[in-house]
Structure 1
Amino acid sequence: MSVIADPLPAWVYESKQGPVIGAVTLFSVLAIAAVILRFKCRLLVRAGLAIDDWLILAALPVALAEAICVAYTTKDTLGRHIQVVSAPALLEGGKMFFTIQILWIISSAIVKLSILAFYLRVFSILDYIRFSAWFLIVMVTCWLIGSTVAHGLQCQPVAKIWQDSLPGHCLDTESLFLIGSIADVVMDFLILALPLPAIIRLQMPLSRKLELVVIFALGGLTCVLSLVRFLEAKDSIYDRSDITWKSWFPLIWGVAEPCLGTLCACLPILQPLMQGLKEGVTKLSSSATTFIPNNNKNFNGAQHSWKPKLSHRDRGVEIPTSSEVNLQEVPSSRHWDSEASCVI
């Protein structure tokens, strides 16, 4: 009895469904946690909500919708080689890819606008930041509108975007991708660099200044993600022979960019929470040092015990006890230099 050999090699049946779902779930959880903690911090300090808070809140569901679409597409299309993807699944996957593109544009733009609105609130008295921020707001808004319209109407009829066999015509998708992605990377780097000169000139302790620089510089993660997404997606744009397989990695980075951008946008607002944790650890450590182990047994043979350190008053030296020591407090995150009134 002869055995019919499978005409396709084993590697054709590979699937990246697990890594894709795991990655987008992780990025989504980080974004959700960052936004929740942001609003909790605003309530803790009894500060009213500002436009940057509402913008980041608006960006979250759009970013989550993109993550859900990417995860759903792995069911039959994304992360599989095109040889094993059925025609109906390929058609549905094309529609989902189109939706993911639009959601990525909207979520990324809203995150950028939230960061710029935060700059306007914190550094409002600095003319160069105010003018630059408004210029970038106009730039991001134009990019949002132009990219959404261009991607939404790149083919006539629109259905030709996911069904190439239909009669009609399409724009040059390669050029459209290059223009939109390069503009996205450039805007991210400009937004990252905008507040750094002002932070460096703040009159505050060097350690505090370095903390702020690090927090704002973490926004560079978004720049790296947008650049990686551009480089990874370039191959799938120019070579669509196995697009369902080649797209899984770029789409992960496409989810990471708005989700981790949301996290980076929330970090400066989380300073009261981080400062509280830092002060709590400092006081706990200070309290722990007031106790030392007593390695001597008593006359009854009792086991080792922990006892408070003997007061120096017993030796004729008057010094304050641990309860009287006024610990040096870390500069509050509410008080900035006169150039930047308040982070939150």
Structure 2
Amino acid sequence: MSNSGVFGPTPNGVDLSKSQNAAISSAVISLMVIATIFMLLRVVARTMQKGIALAADDYCIAVGLLFAHGTAICCLVKGKHLWAMDATQFKVIWKILFAYVMIYGLAVSFTKLSIVLFYRRIFGMNWGLWLCAFLVVAYCVTVIVTILMSCQPPEYFWTQYTTPGATGHCINVSLFSFANGIWAMLVDVCILIVPVPVILKLQMPKSQKLAVMLILLLGSL
């Protein structure tokens, strides 16, 4: 099947009739269903305990899940070959990508903030948790502000590829993505390290301390 779309003629050997949309949709929907079930189990387990009310970390993870569903919705349009799309469809994809980056940043940030608040509920607030909370909030704000200001004018984010004669300029998106990944990794490392000193001070065998750290590590991942 041959076509000449936004990216020019279709390369030899590319079958435009094939689409990965069904596979992507199945995977995304399955993961979201699993995440929602675990979230509901968490809420049920908390509310069934006498005298125990939902805490700030419970609300944060619920908001994070809500934004995660937003990223899932954005992913449902994927799976088509680039050469199978016209300029209008490609513009829609880039608009969705523009929104996706911010929604993803919010989903990740609320999820990580939930872990920080969970640690606070268990260990009490300390300078390490304050640092983690600051890094999480700063990460979220940086992602949103950067993507909103990534192109001037903002619509050049998608018109640069779909509108002949469109003028504007954008930041180095690849460099931003690289720096964003490093920042996110630093936040993860910070969250993983914070509870370790507290656990090491607990009066229990080393094997149990290791087990507790592994449980928290699994939860953070």
For Structure 1 versus Structure 2, the TM-score category normalised by the shorter chain is: 0.7 to 0.9
The one-letter code of the counterpart of 1:45 is Q
SS class of match (1:218) = helix
Pick one of 72, 75, 79 that aligns with 1:67: 72
Query: CA deviation digits over 1:299-339, x for unaligned, max 9?
Result: xxxxxxxxxxxxxxxxxxxxxxxxxxxxxxxxxxxxxxxxx
Cα distance between partner residues in 2 of 1:131 and 1:152: 31
TM-score w.r.t. structure 1 length? 0.56
**Pairing 1:1-344 to 2, within 5 Å after superposition:** 6=2, 8=10, 9-13=12-16, 14-46=18-50, 47-71=52-76, 73=77, 78-124=78-124, 130-164=126-160, 165=163, 166-204=166-204, 209-219=209-219, 221=221
How far has the Cα of 1:181 moved from its partner?
1.5
Query: CA deviation digits over 1:65-89, x for unaligned, max 9?
Result: 1101111x1xxxx222212221111
Query: CA deviation digits over 1:109-142, x for unaligned, max 9?
Result: 1111111111111101xxxx61110111112111
RMSD: 2.1
SS class of match (2:54) = coil
Cα distance between partner residues in 2 of 1:219 and 1:176: 28
How far has the Cα of 1:10 moved from its partner?
4.2
How many residue pairs are counted as aligned between the two chains? 208
Task: Check conservation: 1:63, 1:103, Cα contact below 8 A.
Answer: yes
Cα distance between partner residues in 2 of 1:20 and 1:201: 46
Q: Kindly, what percent of the aligned residue pairs are identical?
A: 28
The one-letter code of the counterpart of 1:190 is C
Cα distance between partner residues in 2 of 1:50 and 1:119: 12
Task: Check conservation: 1:199, 1:209, Cα contact below 8 A.
Answer: yes
Cα distance between partner residues in 2 of 1:44 and 1:199: 28
How far has the Cα of 1:206 moved from its partner?
6.2
Cα distance between partner residues in 2 of 1:196 and 1:81: 47
Task: Check conservation: 1:192, 1:219, Cα contact below 8 A.
Answer: no
How far has the Cα of 1:61 moved from its partner?
0.9
Cα distance between partner residues in 2 of 1:36 and 1:204: 32
The one-letter code of the counterpart of 2:132 is L
Cα distance between partner residues in 2 of 1:41 and 1:220: 19
Higher mean Cα deviation, 143-152 or 201-210?
201-210
Cα distance between partner residues in 2 of 1:65 and 1:141: 19
The one-letter code of the counterpart of 1:11 is V
Rg larger for? 1
Which runs of no fewer than 5 residues in structure 1 stay unpaired? 222-344
SS class of match (1:158) = coil
The one-letter code of the counterpart of 2:58 is D
How far has the Cα of 1:99 moved from its partner?
1.1
Query: CA deviation digits over 1:81-115, x for unaligned, max 9?
Result: 21222111101111111111110001101111111
Query: CA deviation digits over 1:124-165, x for unaligned, max 9?
Result: 1xxxx6111011111211111111010112111111111104
SS class of match (2:159) = coil
